[in-house]
Each structure stands twice: as C-alpha cells, then as structure tokens.
Amino acid sequence: MLNLVSATVLVVAAGVLAQGANRLESRWANPYEPFQVYGNASYGPALQLEHLFYDQWPTGLSVASNGQIYANFPTAVNYTNSKFTVGVITSFTTEAAFPSVEYNQPPQGFVNPSNLNYGAGDPDHLVSVQSVVVDALDRVWALDTGRPLLDGSVLYATTGGAKLVGFYQNGTRFANYVLPPTTAYFDTYLNDVRFDLRPSTLPSGKGVAYITDSSNEGRNGIIVIDLGTGNSWRHLDSTPYTRGDPSFISTYDGMTFQPINQEPPAGTYSHLTTGSDGIALSADGAYLYFSPLSSRRLYRVPTSYLLVEPGPVNPNAANAAIAATEFLGLMGGSHADGLETDASGVIYVGACEQNGITMYHPDAGMWMPFIRDPRIQWPDTLSVATNSRLYFTSNQYWRQPAFNNGTEGRVLPYGIFSVPISAGKVILT
Ligand SMILES: *[C@@H]1O[C@H](CO)[C@@H](O)[C@H](O)[C@H]1NC(C)=O
Ligand SMILES: *[C@@H]1O[C@H](CO)[C@@H](O)[C@H](O)[C@H]1NC(C)=O
Ligand SMILES: *[C@@H]1O[C@H](CO)[C@@H](O)[C@H](O)[C@H]1NC(C)=O
Ligand SMILES: *[C@@H]1O[C@H](CO)[C@@H](O)[C@H](O)[C@H]1NC(C)=O
C-alpha cells in the first residue's frame, strides 16, 4: 500500500518535473530505501508526499490558505551550504528564499564579527530561523534564534538576532519584534510559536504570541509577546516543566540512541538536553500545551496566567503560572518535537520514537494512535492547513553530526508529508 501511494506521487512528480525524475524514482520507488528502516509497521491514513528537500535541512513548515508552503532551515555556517533560512516551496523539489535573498543574508555574515562565539545581532536580516508559521490572517511569521550552528556548536545570540518577524505573503514586512536580553537571553533558543490574534487577549488589542525557549543550556521557559505593544516577558522560567528530563535517552527505528558529543569534551557520551519545544494552543485559546524535547511529558497551562506580565505590579504572576501548570502524563512512549491543534480541539503530537503521530483529545484526556509509517523519520514540525490536512516535515534530526561524534548520518532527501484530518486550522482572530 505504501509502495502504491509512493508510485502515484512519483508519476505525478515525474510528469511535473522531468529533471531529477530518475533520481526520485530510485529513491522513492521503494519508500524504505532512503532510510535505514528496521520495521515496516504502519497504520492510519495514507501519507501524501508533498515535497522533497535535496539541499538544505528543514525544521519547520507552514501552509497558507492558497496552498503555498513555507519552510525554514536553521543556518549551519560550516556544514552545509546554507543559502537562506526561510524559504517558499517553488516545486516538488525546489525552494526559494523568502521574503528575499537579501533579507536572508546579513551583510556582516551570520557570525558576530567581533566575537565568533556569537551569532550576528542583525535586527533587519534573518540569521537562523527555527520556525515559520502562517497565522490565521495568512501572514508569515519567522522565528529567528540568532543562533546559527558553527563547527558543530550552536553559537550564542547577540541582541538583535533573536526576534519574531512578520511578513505578508507578498514579502512586505509588517512587524519586527526584536527581543530584549531580559526576554531572550544570550543562551535562549526560540523554538516554536503559536498566535492568538483575538483583540480581547490583551488590552493593546492586537493579540499575543507564545514562544517556547528550548535552549540546550537549561534556562528554558515560555516567552509571551504582546503584539500590540511589542512588550515581552517570560513564564515557567528554568522550571522542571520547561526543562528536559535529566539523562533522557530515546529510541529511534527500534534502536537506543545516545548522543556522542562533538562539542568539547568531544567523543564523550551525553544526553539530549533540549527543553520546551513543541507548543500548541487549545482551539479556544484557553490553554497552552507544551512539551520539552528531551522528555516524554506533556504539560498545559491556562493562558490567563501567561498573559499576566510578572513584575512589581504583579509580583505573584510567575509563581501563579507555575502553580497552574498541569502535568498531563507521558505521551505513550515517545518524546515529541512538534504539537499542533485542529479546529475540533484534537492535539496532534509528533511521535519521534514511533515513526508516527499520536492524537490527544484534551476533553476526554484520551490518547489515540493516528499514523505510523517508516518514512516518518522524526516528525519535526506539525502544521494544520485550512484544507483539513496535517502537514509535517520528516528530517532525521538525531542523525546530525553534532550528536554523532561529528559524523553526518542524515541521508537526502528530507520530506514534507501530509495526511487528511477531520477538521481545519484553528482561527483565533
Ligand atoms: C519492508 O517492506 C519492503 C517493501 O515491501 C520490503 O522490501 C522490505 O524488505 C521490508 N522490510 C522489513 C524490515 O520488513
Ligand atoms: C567556519 O566558518 C567560520 C565563519 O565564517 C570561519 O571563521 C571558520 O574558519 C570556518 N571553519 C571551518 C572549519 O571551515
Ligand atoms: C503587500 O500586501 C499587503 C497586505 O495585503 C498590502 O497592504 C501591501 O500593499 C502589499 N505590498 C505590495 C508591495 O504589494
Ligand atoms: C569519536 O571520534 C573520534 C575521532 O574520530 C574517535 O577517536 C572516537 O573513538 C569516537 N568516539 C566514539 C565514542 O565513537
């Protein structure tokens, strides 16, 4: 069945794209061939192959109501020929810079020229984007960490690097929230973002953005940006909820995985330490769901607590949000790198350790299997589109050289798949 689906996609792709068709055919005629697959278990709706990446390594993606797919590529200054960090899909196998080549190339480079341990602090160019999200008004947001990868290390951010930038689909920038060092520390890693654009969320009337800080360095938290004032603050800062589990060890394709450091001390066995990563808003905007990458734990917190800025006016706000955070349980034997909600309230949870995606029904507290397929080699970011399909990237994340003693284990191509679901995108406007 998987072979049939792939073959159909291949016929379509070959018709559209004469160039590269043979390569595609040999790669995807047998869907197991590109990956080291150790089992063929599958269930759920058939995957549709939407895009193949033959060049840069993708993490996030998002789909506009006209079907246009946006994707992003964290900048790796030395490993790969990083060409642009935000892209728009232009064909089955090609991408182009978005909003422009120029916006993706800081004139001073990606590294801070006066301190090579830091990324460029360039507020008006994209340095290294970890997530791209099309909001309910069809606008494209780029979440820039300011922290490119250089020689196997993730550089620290210089102020100006960490920011949330909004573009219309025609490429015009309409917002640029450059985060101050009190919100985005030099070791903050802005990972993923969700929007509630309802005027009622905050007094300034323009809505709110919620962002996970997944930093490997442990100062994890949830960042809130008031889209009306540009003011920003942190919650659940350096708590066990937003940090990874100590000594976390995972399993991929049935094999236990332990990272081997490339950073000093090189060659030593280590653990993934990445914190709060996947993030989803409930369909009514009342709860924020999140999970640390290096943990199988799912949490939620009422957004009413997150919307209160901690400080002298609200001295109890930080503790109140911590006290209101609920542990919802373990996610069925997998950690997740992406969460996403549909308009019916279902939360889709990437299951990196099960080559699949799981469903969580918050009202019933019920977990269900959704899809499994050997081609799902680390579902990184999940994105529900208005056409009632769930899109996701498959990017072989754990095979990066940084976790494997410097050896590149990822095999081209990376993919975007989609599957039908029963509801569309959440619209909070
Ligand atoms: C998985 O299925 C493919 C296609 O039928 C087959 O070639 C391959 O040997 C199978 N692999 C395993 C591990 O069962
Ligand atoms: C990696 O890139 C940086 C910045 O451009 C450069 O200084 C360094 O020499 C490069 N390292 C290698 C191993 O090429
Ligand atoms: C881009 O789109 C925005 C929003 O639709 C519009 O206001 C603006 O005029 C457009 N700019 C250009 C250059 O087309
Ligand atoms: C890591 O790579 C180094 C250099 O190639 C090698 O000496 C060492 O044995 C490797 N360590 C492990 C744990 O594979």
Whole-structure pTM value: 0.90
Ligand nearest to the CA of 269: 4
Residue 308 in contact with ligand 4 by CB distance below 6 A: no
Distance CA 119, CA 68 (A): 30
- Is residue 77 within 6 Å of ligand 2 at its C-beta? yes
Residue 396 region by backbone torsions, left for phi larger than 0, else alpha for psi between -120 and 50, else beta: left
Q: Which residues of 363-377 are buried (b: 16+ CB within 10 A; e: fewer)?
A: eeeebeebbbbbbbb
Q: Where do the domains of the chain lie, and which CATH numbers do they carry?
A: 41-420 (2.120.10.30)
Q: List, for residues 250-286, the tens digit of each pLDDT value.
A: 999 888 899 987 766 777 889 999 999 999 999 999 9
pLDDT of residue 21: 39
Ligand 1: centre distance to CA 99 (Å) = 42
Work out the pLDDT band at 37, boundaries 50, 70, 90.
low
Tell me how far apart the alpha carbons of residues 57 and 77 are, in angstroms, rounded to a whole number: 12
Q: Ligand 3 — pocket residues by CB below 6 A?
A: 168, 170, 172
Q: Which residues line ligand 1 (CB under 6 A)?
A: 30, 32, 39-40
For the CA of 172, the closest atom of ligand 3 is 1
Alpha carbons 175 and 164: distance in angstroms, whole number? 8
Chain centroid to Cα 388, Å, comes to: 20
pLDDT tens figures, 119-168: 999 999 999 999 999 999 999 999 999 999 987 789 999 999 999 999 99
